[in-house]
Amino acid sequence: MKRGCSVPLVVIFLLTNTFLLSGSTVVRAQKDDFLPGYAVTAKNDTLKGFILIKDQMFNAGSCVFAESLSGPQKNYTPEDINAYGVDGKAFYYSHAVTIDGRMHKLFLECLVKGKISLFAFQDRYFLKTETKVEELMSSNSTVTKGDQVYKVNLPVYKGILQTAMNDCGTIHNHIKETAFTKKDLTRLVMSYHKCMGLDAVTFEPQSAKGGIRFGLSLGVLSSSLSVKSGDHPSLYYLDNNKAMTDFSVMPALWVEFLSKSKFSFRTGLTYYNSEYTSYDEDAATNLDHELIIKTSRIEMPLQVRFRPKKDNAGLYFTGGVGLNATLKWDDREITKVHSTGYVLSDGPVLENNDFFTNVLVGAGWDIKLAKRTFFLEGRYGWSQSVLSSSKVPEGTLNAITFSAGILF
């Protein structure tokens, strides 16, 4: 019977080199993302140079500035500078925002820059006038009439807009029709400047850029291996047994190839180590059977990752296949006479596949903290090719994993 092979070591070597060589790609991608721009200091001095532009969440917490593309980089936080921008493409303004009841200073992304400026952070919007910055809000409330409870939308933002733009006599009709969306609010602010005969600049929201990021995770695996006889007479006892189960720890390395769309591709290496045991007593044949399987494998997932939002944060879904290489496979069947305990046979009975594939689907949640992304993920895997298709018996592997990790 097979007991794994040396070929998986070659797979590990090739993938390890892929990790190392990809490091230079990260550096080049970062340099390519530097664009001519400026930073406005706390003393309102303007520093000319190059700015690193990535996605909204990154740019909300950091301004990576370099005087030249070959020079050293300096990271400014919203506490350090007042604003920064990329010539003609983006502008960010430092402002304190309440998140979960606490104040955090962030760089708000500018959508419209003019006498009245419109800024955004995720799905929140802010209006900046010459004297202050106010958050535009739309809240829901409930009203009870008799036995009926109604949901009522309170467009608080319309009052703020009317107050800020009351020097335009026709703006009221525009505000009345403005929904609480990025598109409508941008159009309204531009209409105000047109009404007043003033210039204003619009910026396209920054979405996730292409590039590569790496990650580590640690999870728990709950797996079940169901083995059936495949009509082999001496193995019929397996058909009456429940699936063998195991719980183990699952470390993993990740590589994710980002794109400008909501889809990205990821791969990596995941290590599994499991032990399965099944015991059967057959009074009719006066035989007892014990089956013990010890196995370890390494998996290279090939997955598509879909994010409903483009800012690399929040909910995501994954789907794909896992390419598995068996590092170790030891199976042992012990057959005894039930009445006496005499051992009739003791040895392997199964034929495993050195390589097999399984289907992977899952969902998770990305959490942005400073420059890092932490994630929680649940995944389901299924395979019917753990055992050799040319031999009996037949095996089906099902696994549920829960893991937590970090992406760099």
* Lowest-confidence pick of 75-89, 143-157, 232-246, 262-276: 143-157
In tens, the pLDDT along 296-345 reads: 999 999 999 998 875 567 899 999 999 999 999 999 999 999 888 899 99
Say whether pLDDT at 76 is over 50: yes
Residue 378 CA to residue 318 CA, distance in Å, equals 10
User: Does residue 28 register a pLDDT over 50?
Assistant: no
Identify which of 373, 407, 408, 371 has the alpha carbon closest to the alpha carbon of residue 64: 371
In which band, very low, low, confident or very high, does the pLDDT at 25 lie, cut at 50, 70 and 90? Answer: very low
367 occurs within a structural domain? yes
Q: Which domain holds residue 248?
A: 7-24+209-407
Q: Is there a single domain that holds both residue 194 and residue 223?
A: no
Residue 21 above 90 pLDDT? no
Cβ atoms within 10 Å, residue 338 = 14
The region of weakest confidence among 82-91, 96-105, 151-160, 335-344 is 151-160
What is the pLDDT at residue 375?
95
Q: For a pLDDT cut of 70, what percent of the chain falls above it?
A: 87
Indicate the residue among 152, 183, 202 that finishes a domain: 202
pLDDT by residue (tens digit) across 340-380?
889 999 999 899 999 999 999 999 999 877 667 899 999 99
Position 19 scores a pLDDT of 42
Give the residue with greater pLDDT, 159 vs 154: 159
Indicate if 263 and 397 belong to the same structural domain.
yes
Q: Which of 202, 222, 243 is the last residue of a domain?
A: 202
- C-alpha distances (whole Å) from 317 to each of 56, 58, 126, 301, 376 are 20, 21, 31, 14, 12
Contacts of 100 (CB under 8 A, 6+ apart): none
Cα 154 from chain centroid (whole Å): 34
Query: How far is CA 149 from each of CA 141, 142, 207, rounded to the nearest angstrom?
Result: 10, 6, 40
Share of the chain above pLDDT 90, in %: 60
- 186 found inside a domain: yes
Residues 165-212 have pLDDT tens digits of: 999 989 999 999 999 999 999 999 999 999 999 999 998 766 545 578
- Residue 276 shares a structural domain with residue 354: yes
Both 224 and 78 in one domain: the answer is no
Whether 86 and 176 share a structural domain: yes
Q: What is the pLDDT of residue 9?
A: 41
2 found inside a domain: no
For residues 172 and 275, membership in a common domain is answered with no
Which of the 8 DSSP states describes residue 266?
A: E
| Residue 16, pLDDT score | 43
pLDDT of residue 310: 59
Count of domains observed in the chain:
2
Is 1 among the domain residues? no
Give the mean pLDDT of 51-77.
88
Same-domain pairing of 69 and 136:
yes
The verdict on residue 329 lying in a domain is: yes
Query: Are residues 129 and 241 located together in one domain of the fold?
Result: no
Q: Is residue 63 part of a domain?
A: yes
112-126, 163-177, 213-227, 366-380: lowest mean pLDDT where?
A: 366-380
Amino acid at position 46, single letter: T
User: What are the DSSP calls for 113-163, one per residue?
Assistant: ESSSEEEEETTEEEEE-SS-EEEE--EEEEEEETTEEEEEEE-HHHHHHHH
Looking at the fold, whether 94 and 233 belong to one and the same domain comes out as no
Whether 164 has a pLDDT exceeding 80, the answer reads yes
CA distance 224 to 399: 6
Residue 125's pLDDT band (cuts 50, 70, 90): very high
29 in a domain, yes or no?
no
Q: Which residue has the higher pLDDT, 214 or 100?
A: 214
The answer, yes or no, to whether residue 7 has pLDDT greater than 60, is no
| Token pair 């005969």 in the structure block, residue | 197
Based on the fold, state whether residues 48 and 89 are members of the same structural domain: yes
Q: Is residue 273 domain-shared with residue 389, that is, in the same domain?
A: yes
253 is a domain residue: yes
Whole-prediction pTM: 0.55
Residues 176, 184: Cα–Cα separation, whole Å: 11
- Give the tokens for residue 50: 């190059």
Show which of 181, 202, 223 is a domain's final residue.
202
Per residue in 259-296, pLDDT (tens digit) is 767 889 999 999 999 999 999 887 778 899 999 999 99
Average predicted confidence (pLDDT) for the chain = 86
150, 275: one domain: no
